[in-house]
């Protein structure tokens, strides 16, 4: 029997500069396991394409005319909830870094980074991990060293796995372990283990505290 073809990561590429999109698309076309299934030049177009194509990963620029990348990331939660977002931008200030992670993006790389770094980021984010390049790392570390609060919360949320975020959302909605287990199709003991990991990672040890955190991160509505 012929060998089964390896499944590729379906990527939607969003940038308002056609030349930039073409360069990124050409490089990714040479990479094993990655396929650019669509392009968009604006936030509105990104939402339309995401709804139609159902990509696994959206590579999103921030600075675009009309609806910018930040607003598009926020709306993608409803349009394509299964898509993970990797931000590709020239901006590396604290405000942008904190906001993209607060909105739910799982990775952040600069446009002047290496092509190899971008490929690593795509694979990492697709696997449910967080990824931020060296320049972003230094900004986050500096913020922690100064005791800054603006970046601390997004960085903590970033430390959670996708499953832990799902469990946290259930806790914040007032569900018990059995209800969360039923919703996620896992055992009660698994949910309990995830809750322990969440509390340890966030250093939050009450349901009220976890609920406030989830609200602040936009994981549930007010």
Q: Residue ranges per domain, the chain? A: 9-148, 160-216
CATH 2.60.40.1180 holds for 9-148: no
| pLDDT values of the chain reduced to their tens digit, one per residue, 222 residues | 444 556 899 999 999 999 999 999 999 999 989 999 999 999 999 999 999 999 999 999 988 877 788 888 888 888 888 899 999 888 766 666 767 777 778 888 888 888 999 999 999 999 888 787 765 655 554 544 444 444 444 445 666 778 888 999 898 888 889 999 999 999 999 999 999 888 887 878 888 878 888 877 777 655
Task: Assess contact for 105 and 73: CB atoms under 8 A.
Answer: yes
Helices (H), the chain: 18-28, 43-53, 69-79, 94-102, 115-126, 134-145, 152-158, 162-172, 177-184, 188-202, 207-216
Of the chain, the end-to-end C-alpha distance in Å amounts to 54
How many other C-beta atoms are found inside a 10 Å radius of the C-beta of residue 1?
Answer: 3
**pTM (2 d.p.):** 0.62
What would be the CATH architecture of the domain defined by 160-216?
Orthogonal Bundle (1.10)
């Amino acid at each position: 029997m012929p060998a089964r073809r390896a499944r590729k990561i379906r990527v939607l590429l969003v940038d308002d500069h056609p030349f930039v999109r073409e360069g990124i698309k050409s490089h990714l076309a040479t990479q094993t396991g990655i396929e650019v299934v669509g392009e968009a030049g604006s936030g509105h177009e990104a939402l339309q394409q995401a709804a139609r194509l159902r990509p696994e990963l959206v590579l999103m620029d921030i600075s675009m005319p009309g609806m910018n990348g930040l607003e598009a990331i926020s709306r993608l939660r409803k349009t394509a909830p299964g898509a993970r977002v990797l931000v590709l931008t020239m901006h590396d200030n604290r405000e942008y870094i904190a906001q993209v992670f607060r909105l739910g993006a799982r990775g952040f790389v600069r446009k002047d980074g290496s092509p190899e770094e971008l490929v690593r980021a795509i694979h990492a984010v697709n696997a449910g991990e967080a990824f931020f390049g060296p320049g972003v790392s230094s900004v986050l570390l500096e913020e922690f060293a100064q005791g800054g609060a603006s970046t601390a919360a997004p960085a903590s949320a970033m430390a959670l796995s996708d499953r832990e975020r799902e469990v946290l959302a259930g806790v914040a909605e007032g569900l018990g372990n059995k209800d969360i287990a039923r919703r996620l199709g896992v055992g009660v003991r698994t949910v309990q283990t995830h809750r322990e990991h969440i509390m340890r990672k966030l250093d939050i040890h009450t349901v009220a505290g976890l609920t406030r955190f989830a609200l602040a991160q936009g994981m549930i509505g007010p």
